[in-house]
Structure 1
């Protein structure tokens, strides 16, 4: 009799709730790869995370994607098989701030965005230019260094190529790496020049120096780095580059906790003069 009464009461309550328009349902209508707990068929729920930042800290290491071909930001030294450069040092400090290890993951300029979105690494660095095209798909944090597009040429030609018009000619041979902002610039502004895409960005400065190509369009900081290392080369127009941009660090979008921590860390690096120290080490 008591059980029958309980069933009757439950039914009345249920009908009352339906009558008021109140229906119990899940409140999380948008699933998150970080916040959603996954349940094993034969076990308890797995660890869930409010942010990728929590996952990185819990994991004990951060995966940093970089190309290894863009001095002075990233260079995979074949002699040591170790990454070195401005952003390599910066990411070691970022990992230290999180209390985790850093693990570098090889990527390329044409595949960097897709690799990030496929969760092959937690952050993309190494001379990544901030722009709206990248911001549409990912989150590029505030800039940490300014630069512009400029020509790397032979020292003997420093009076020959002093403007965009001097370079935008069929007789001028340009070597450019694929898939990044250098190629975008060349395709947009140097349509009359003789352009060759060179797969390995590290090869282009030497090919300019030996006369295979006349010009390499790149960032002012990279042009200055190669000109400093090879007296045959000259970094032209670094005082007045063709464009003005900033380098940034790129992470998946939609994670406020992770993004706000990254922004805070960048601010602290600036305030404490640590980016200045990296600039002196790798660019001066």
Structure 2
């Protein structure tokens, strides 16, 4: 019965998509005219996207972006964006869809659409392993003498500013090197998404993810879209098709624990 209900749901999404896409869509018109789809990625957030040894982008959403381009029958163009400029770049029309582990927030929803959710995650600490037990709670983190480090412009900074009052808060612009600051003792703890803490802890033996299965918050991650209903319907239909075919599960199993 569950499989039958799921099949009817996928059919409903695809049917709805075809009806909506038949309407006006500036985004789809631009994609068709240029034969390209522009995907915004920050390139600094594992497992979603990061720069490889040759400067190429790797990760889950690097591959999802290519799958989307193939589904649309157009060429993929990666547009480098950043967490501080994510929304401004979308408003300026620099990319058609933002990928790369973007959290759904009410503030972002006021200016953009989101795809159907991809996964649920939340904020958790990562620290040097010998200090991990000190930082299991926000009260343990927010103490005088503790240095909390976060990357600016995204939900990590928002969460830290809302919860850190006594500890020293440091903004580090390069998210790709931020964990070295903790490992080298220039900062004590970072508050970021639990999914990232697990991956970083595997790559940095000196660092440990702190209670990643019990994060301080819960939020959904989805793809960021301009306020174009037909384009959103097309993306949701593509995700439904990826899910039904099993391709989404294959990619997520490869990159996400």
> What is aligned with 2:246?
273
TM norm structure 2? 0.87
Map Cα deviations across residues 208-247 of structure 1 (whole Å, 9 max, x no partner): 1121111011001111110011111111111110001111
Map Cα deviations across residues 127-175 of structure 1 (whole Å, 9 max, x no partner): 1101111010011112101111000111112222111110011211111
Q: Is the 8 A contact 2:136 2:211 kept in 1?
A: yes
SS of residue in 1 equivalent to 2:249 = helix
Shift of 1:283: 2.9
Question: What are the ranges of 5 or more consecutive residues in structure 2 without an aligned counterpart?
Answer: 1-23
SS of residue in 2 equivalent to 1:116 = helix
Q: Larger Cα Rg: Structure 1 or Structure 2?
A: 1
Q: CA separation of 1:239/1:50 partners in 2, compared to 1, >3 Å: closer, same or farther?
A: closer
> Greater relative contact order: 1 or 2 (C-alpha under 8 angstroms, separation 6 or more)?
2
Name whichever structure is richer in helix by fraction: 2
> What is aligned with 1:96?
70
Q: Structure 2 CA distance, aligned partners of 1:204 and 1:213?
A: 9
Q: Is the 8 A contact 2:25 2:229 kept in 1?
A: no
Give the one of 21, 27, 41 matched to 1:66: 41
Q: Is the 8 A contact 1:144 1:275 kept in 2?
A: no
Map Cα deviations across residues 180-204 of structure 1 (whole Å, 9 max, x no partner): 0000000001122111000101111
Q: Is the 8 A contact 1:220 1:241 kept in 2?
A: yes
SS of residue in 1 equivalent to 2:135 = coil
Shift of 1:50: 4.2
Q: Structure 2 CA distance, aligned partners of 1:50 and 1:248?
A: 20
Does residue 180 (structure 1) correspond to residue 154 (structure 2)? The answer is yes
Give the one of 251, 255, 262 matched to 2:225: 251
Question: What are the ranges of 5 or more consecutive residues in structure 1 without an aligned counterpart?
Answer: 1-48
- Say what the alpha-carbon RMSD is for the aligned residues: 1.3
Q: Structure 2 CA distance, aligned partners of 1:197 and 1:158?
A: 21
